């Protein structure tokens, strides 16, 4: 089969379906998509809420709980213990299939009736996490607070997609056995570090970018196997410690000074077009131990996947917004430990399921919510094996004959993820806002939902930011009783006891911004999960600048294989053409940095 060019029915841009894509769609028994990859991702993420939390009662035990679902969402929400208990049965909400209505409308009606899990975490469940109440998409951890999309953690706070470590605080997209890291982005195997980015195997270091296997380094970029470096210059141990002491990183003023100086160093040296470690035939960024990946981002141990992000060990799968240890899955939000799961939202341990939300350990179910250990169900109604096969064929034909048509006249038939306009999340509380930020007016024009009131307080502060001690050593225990206000958005926030202990241990000053503004800054610093086709910016003796508004230029320190002529190497990179970074191919980068 040949490649085929398609026009996205949503945004009207062209995209290509390759022969291997057709093979995949045939294998998992779905038609090719009619949305382009970017529109598929945005629609999918509109159904995912990672960080917006609400206080509300459990609709079963009536206790006050934390949930990702707003009290005005119209959903029936159960706490973790009630939802996993035997006090209720999802099949009691079964409904007959109505061939006079669109499938997606019937599924929405079921979603609004079946109790939904307040948080996708295993806190307090037998064999699950301990003391991790304020976490989402989270498992196998201990003593964590405000951590999202993570597992195998201890003693971590205010982080997003961190795996297998301890002491992560204010970190984003990091894994690999790190211990005690503050403000790390794509930082792996690091120990007692702060403000480290795109770096691996660092210890006792601060303000480092693209460094590897270094210790006691400060305000440096592109280092390998170094110790006692400051601004990329070698010092003795005594000289280095004196410099570090003079910066007073235990004070807010000292950190702000270091941030300003470090920002001036970020664009001086070449960046590698992508971080691909031990990868074969792969495109994307920040991939480790991967094979045959296309458009993958922040992945490890992944094979034969396309348009997958923030995932650990999926195989032969397409279009996943996070997933682990799964195979032949398509268009899913965390369909972990599943096989042939299609169009799934937080559905784990399933086999051959389609259009499911909160379904676990089930086989051969279609259009269901909240089921556990079930088989042969449609809209939560139980069928025999023979009845299920016959009914499934009729439902799929009906979805094609009576598609759901949204307000923008986009038709949804079998093979498309749930329409974004039916999401129970507002666009502004969903993960789509991180990757495709929109103002309210623009979101509504594009037919996304919008949550009028996110749960927060403003104006309740008991201490102004100007009253906060500059040095962490001057902070007393009473700070945990105060209400602070974010200097950026004005949102109120607190310093919790576990957090204060960490700051004291690492000698880190109190933050002046709330978690949400800090998280937003980290997301903006990390490269977008998108690729552009570009040519290496090495011009021979110097870099060649593709952006006239960014006149920085780098002089090469070594002779490259292409000599003094411009490098002709082309690649796919997450650095957009209009960005200020100097982007080199692997060969030119290694000549200068490795």
The alpha-helical segments, DSSP class H, found in 70-204 are 80-84, 103-113
Cα angle 17-20-23, degrees, rounded to a multiple of 5: 100
Give residue 127's pLDDT: 75
Q: Which two tokens stand for residue 143?
A: 């003593």
**Looking at the DSSP assignment, which residues form a beta bridge with residue 138?**
121, 150
The values of phi and psi at residue 125, to 5°, are -85, 145
Residues 6+ apart with CB under 8 A from 92: none
Q: Which two tokens stand for residue 525?
A: 């610093």
Is residue 347 a contact partner of residue 357, using CB atoms and an 8 Å limit?
yes
Residue 549 falls in which region: left (phi positive, over 0), alpha (psi -120 to 50) or beta: alpha
Please name the residues in contact with 408: beta carbons below 8 A apart, sequence gap of 6 or more.
10, 446, 447
Segment holding 525, helix H or strand E: helix 515-525
Q: Token pair for residue 385?
A: 């094996």
Give Dmax over CA atoms of the chain in angstroms.
Answer: 79
The pLDDT assigned to 548 comes to 57
CB atoms within 10 A of CB 568: 10
Contact of 377 with 366, CB cutoff 8 Å: yes
From first to last of the 594 residues of the chain, give the pLDDT tens digit. 789 999 999 999 999 999 999 999 999 999 999 999 999 999 999 999 999 999 999 999 999 999 999 999 999 999 999 999 999 999 999 999 999 999 999 999 999 999 999 999 988 887 789 999 999 999 889 999 999 999 899 999 999 999 999 999 999 999 878 999 999 999 999 999 999 999 999 999 999 999 999 999 999 999 999 999 999 999 999 999 999 999 999 999 999 999 999 999 999 999 999 999 999 999 999 999 999 999 999 999 999 999 999 999 999 999 999 999 999 999 999 999 999 999 999 999 999 999 999 999 999 999 999 999 999 999 999 999 999 999 999 999 999 999 999 999 999 999 999 999 999 999 999 999 999 999 999 999 999 999 998 999 999 999 999 999 999 999 999 999 999 999 999 999 999 999 999 999 999 999 999 999 999 999 999 999 999 999 999 999 999 875 555 567 899 999 999 999 999 999 999 999 999 999 999 999 999 987
Dist. CA 327–CA 341, nearest whole Å? 8
User: Residue 240, by phi and psi: left (phi above 0), alpha (psi -120 to 50) or beta?
Assistant: alpha
Which pTM value belongs to this model? Answer: 0.95
- Alpha carbon 338 to its chain's center: 20
| DSSP assigned state of 50 | S
Nearest CA-CA partner of 267 in 560, 5, 553 = 553
How many whole angstroms separate alpha carbon 492 and alpha carbon 464? 11
Rounded CA gap, 427 and 450, in Å?
5
Q: Is 464 exposed, middle or buried (0-12, 13-18, 19+ CB in 10 A)?
A: exposed
- Termini Cα distance of the chain: 42
d(CA 352, CA 277): 33
C-alpha angle with apex 90: 87 to 91, nearest 5 degrees?
120
Sequence length of the chain is 594
The C-alpha atoms of residue 490 and residue 513 are separated, in whole angstroms, by: 8
pLDDT recorded at residue 124: 80
Output the pLDDT for position 370. Answer: 98
Q: How many CA atoms lie within 13 A of 173 on its CB side?
A: 26
DSSP assignment string, 491-513: BEE---HHHHHHHHHHT-PPPSS
> Taking a C-beta distance cutoff of 8 angstroms, is the pair 58, 65 a contact?
yes
Q: Are 450 and 443 in contact (CB under 8 A)?
A: yes
> Which residues on neighbouring strands pair with residue 30, listed in sequence order?
none
Give the position of tokens 């570009």.
534
**460: its two tokens:** 């309740």
CA distance 428 to 269: 36
H-type helices in 99-216, by residue range?
103-113
Q: How far is CA 76 from CA 64, 95, 347, in A?
A: 14, 17, 18
Distances (CA, A) of 500 to 472, 475, 479, 494, 520: 9, 9, 9, 10, 22
pLDDT value for 581: 94
Q: What are the tokens at 254?
A: 């000292």
User: How far is 363 from 386, CA to CA, in rounded Å?
Assistant: 14
């Amino acid at each position: 089969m040949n490649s085929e060019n398609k026009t996205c029915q949503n945004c009207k841009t062209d995209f290509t379906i390759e022969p291997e894509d057709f093979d995949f769609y045939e294998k998992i028994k779905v038609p090719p998509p009619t949305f382009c990859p970017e529109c598929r991702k945005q629609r999918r993420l509109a159904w995912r809420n990672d960080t917006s939390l609400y206080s509300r009662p459990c609709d079963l035990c009536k206790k006050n709980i934390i949930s990702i679902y707003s009290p005005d969402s119209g959903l029936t929400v159960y706490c973790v213990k009630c939802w996993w208990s035997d006090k209720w049965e999802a099949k009691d909400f079964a409904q007959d299939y109505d061939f006079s209505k669109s499938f997606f409308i019937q599924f929405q009606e079921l979603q609004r009736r079946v109790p939904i899990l307040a948080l996708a975490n295993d806190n307090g469940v037998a064999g699950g996490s301990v003391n991790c109440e304020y976490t989402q998409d989270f498992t196998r951890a201990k003593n964590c607070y405000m951590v999202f999309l993570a597992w195998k953690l201890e003693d971590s706070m205010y982080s997003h997609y961190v795996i297998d470590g301890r002491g992560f605080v204010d970190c984003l997209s990091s894994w690999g056995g790190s211990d005690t890291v503050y403000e790390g982005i794509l930082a792996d195997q690091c120990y007692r570090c702060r403000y480290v980015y795109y770096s691996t195997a660092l210890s006792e270091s601060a303000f480092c970018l693209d460094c590897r296997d270094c210790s006691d380094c400060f305000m440096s970029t592109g280092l390998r196997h170094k110790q006692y470096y400051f601004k990329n210059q070698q010092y003795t141990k005594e000289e280095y410690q004196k410099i570090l002491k003079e910066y007073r990183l235990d004070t807010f003023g000292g950190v702000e000074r270091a941030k300003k100086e470090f920002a001036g160093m970020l664009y001086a040296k070449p960046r590698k077009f992508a971080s691909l470690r031990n990868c074969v035939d792969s495109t994307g960024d920040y991939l480790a131990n991967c094979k045959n990946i296309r458009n993958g981002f922040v992945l490890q141990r992944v094979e034969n996947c396309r348009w997958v992000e923030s995932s650990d060990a999926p195989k032969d799968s397409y279009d996943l917004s996070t997933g682990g240890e799964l195979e032949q899955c398509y268009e899913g939000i965390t369909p972990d430990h599943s096989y042939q799961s299609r169009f799934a939202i937080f559905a784990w341990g399933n086999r051959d399921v389609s259009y499911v939300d909160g379904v676990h350990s089930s086989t051969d179910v279609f259009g269901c919510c909240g089921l556990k250990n079930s088989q042969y169900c449609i809209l939560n109604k139980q069928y025999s094996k023979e009845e299920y096969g016959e009914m499934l064929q009729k439902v799929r034909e009906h979805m094609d004959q009576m598609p759901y048509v949204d307000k923008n006249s986009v038709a949804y038939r079998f093979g498309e993820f749930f329409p974004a306009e039916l999401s129970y999340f507002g666009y502004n509380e969903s993960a789509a806002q991180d990757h495709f930020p929109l103002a309210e007016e623009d979101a509504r024009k594009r037919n996304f939902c919008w949550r009028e009131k996110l749960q927060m307080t403003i104006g309740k502060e008991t201490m102004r930011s100007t009253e906060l001690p500059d040095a962490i050593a001057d902070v007393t225990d009473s700070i945990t009783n105060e209400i602070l206000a974010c200097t950026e958005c004005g949102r109120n926030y607190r310093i919790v006891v576990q957090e204060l202990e960490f700051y004291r241990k690492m000698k880190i000053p109190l933050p002046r911004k709330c978690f949400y503004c800090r998280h937003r800054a980290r997301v903006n610093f990390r490269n977008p999960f998108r690729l552009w086709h570009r040519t290496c910016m090495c011009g021979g003796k110097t870099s060649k600048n593709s952006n006239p508004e960014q006149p920085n230029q780098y002089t090469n320190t070594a002779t490259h294989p292409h000599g003094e002529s411009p490098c002709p190497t082309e690649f796919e990179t997450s650095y957009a053409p209009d960005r200020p970074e100097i982007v080199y191919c692997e060969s030119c980068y290694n000549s200068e940095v490795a």
